Structure formats: C-alpha cells, structure tokens
Structure 1
C-alpha cells in the first residue's frame, strides 16, 4: 500500500504524507513503521529545490539606467513608448532561463519577447525589422 501511495503521488510524498493518506483510507499505521518500510523498499521522496535565481550582481560598480518615464505623461499614440522587463523561468533540469518582454505602453500589448539562458545585455535589446 505504501508503494501504491508513493507511486500515485509521483514520488513526492514522504512518510508523513503517506501515513496521513493511509489513515484516511482506514489503515492503522505509524510514521516510524512507514519510514522503516520505505527505507527497506528504497523509496525516497523527491525534495523540491529551493528558489535561488541568479540575479544581477549589485556590487558590480557599474551604473544603472534611471527611469526616464517617471515625470512624463502617458503616451497619447501607439509606438511612442516601449517598456521591458525580465522574469525567471525555472526549468525541469534545475537550471534557469530568462524571459524578456517588450510592451507598447499606449495599448499595453506585448510586442516582442525573447528567452535566453543568461541575463546579458543582448537579452533586453530589441530591433525592429
């Protein structure tokens, strides 16, 4: 029964969760008994990796671009102002990918995007064809 619960939850459940599920099904089991049986069967739950993105190094000593739009009125026509942002994409391998998007500020539509395995400058550059 332990192996069925373990496999049914894609190897994510440890002894505590398996005990809780078996008790819900009406079985009298103890956590130490389940833990021992799991060890004997070679069942070890998969532990999720903690979220540690590779972010910008704040001690790089280089400058940054100030927000030039803070004191400006909202755009009154399309294609006057584009803004960009980057987000992290966790991959199944444990690595990270980085997604950069460009939004046209008047319509608030995404006009472009790019995914890369690094956060170098060329990730945020966008050229029109």
Structure 2
C-alpha cells in the first residue's frame, strides 16, 4: 500500500519531536547540577520573555507572508483587468455590447415618446389656437 507524502511527512515530524524531547531530557538530567531552584517571579519572567519572542517571530512571519500574498494578488488582479479590458471591447464581447447599448440610448436621451395622450393634448391645443 502506498503511503501519501503528507502522512510520511507528519510521521517524520512526530519522530523528530520525540527525538528532540528525549535528547533534551537526557541532557538536562546528566549535565550540570540539578539541585538549583528558581523563584516563581523568575520563572514567570522567563516564560513571558519566551512568549513575547515567539509572538514577535510569528508577527514577522505573518508580515512576510502578507507582503508576498498582497504582491501576488495585486499582480494577478492587474493582469486580469488588462486582459479583460483589451478583450472586452472587441466586437461581440460584453463591454462592446454595453457600449453600443449606451450609444443607442444616448441618441434618444431626453426625447419624449409620442403616445395617445400626447396626441390628444396636441389636437386640443391645435383646436384652441385655431379658435
């Protein structure tokens, strides 16, 4: 049965984490004196420093990814807009049809349609003028 690359990579990562934990545990037991004590305030200080360093590294990593992503998205949008505009005004394309429709509507902009009420009013005015 074939193992997928993701499963293989995750198994390798788990193995490396276990190996690092075992090595760290062995070194801390065998090297140096183990009878030292640390105060609670010092422990909190070390933990807060570690957390702030991790958050700073995470922020830099996210900023780099955001910059790369923004440039990628911006470039993709610019190329898509250029291709859409260059292809869209060719005959039969959507922008060309829209432009033709607006041109046809603009010719008759402001001109009232002649309907029966308008003709009746014109005839009534014509009769009043002749009387």
TM-score bracket for the superposition, by shorter chain length: under 0.3
Q: Larger % of strand: which?
A: 1
Superposition TM-score, scaled by structure 1 size:
0.20
Structure number with higher helix proportion: 2
